[in-house]
Amino acid sequence: MELTELIGPDSVICNLRVSSKKQALQELAKRAAQLTGRPERAIFEVLTERERLGTTGVGNGIAIPHGKLPDLDRLYALFARLEQPIDFDSIDEQPVDLICVLLAPETAGADHLKALARVSRILRDRGTCEKMRGADSSDGLFAILSQPEGSEAA
């Protein structure tokens, strides 16, 4: 599964200005509602409920909030690079500046897990993350995210 199956240029945000985990999730839920046609409140609740189970701040400045929603027609991803890192209760206690939200239909099953694995692989690559942190536009971020797996962005 390539990330471009889940994410488009309209679902990449460069320099998102937020000051807390809650505000980040609210802002990303608002953007995700525009992409999915699902209510912003429902998306926010799914993401915060998942955070109550345990943080999605996976370390190295990265968070991957995710959840399942009824009536979604497919998997959706939304990527944001924050203007300033924020506390996200990460497992390594480091602030987060790269966030990838993943939303799946309730019936997604294995596809949801495959998408999470794909996003994790991309964001585990320190070189890729450094390129994303250095990108100066949403288009630049999208270009990095849409590299086929195993290739290096220029």
Catalytic positions, written as ranges: 66
CB–CB of 117/44 below 8 Å?
no
Return d(Cα 7, Cα 63) in angstroms, integer. Answer: 16
Q: What would the two tokens of residue 111 be?
A: 């596809």
CA dist., res. 82 & res. 140, Å (int): 14
Q: Where are the beta strands (DSSP E) in 9-135?
A: 12-16, 57-59, 62-63, 66-69, 76-86, 96-105
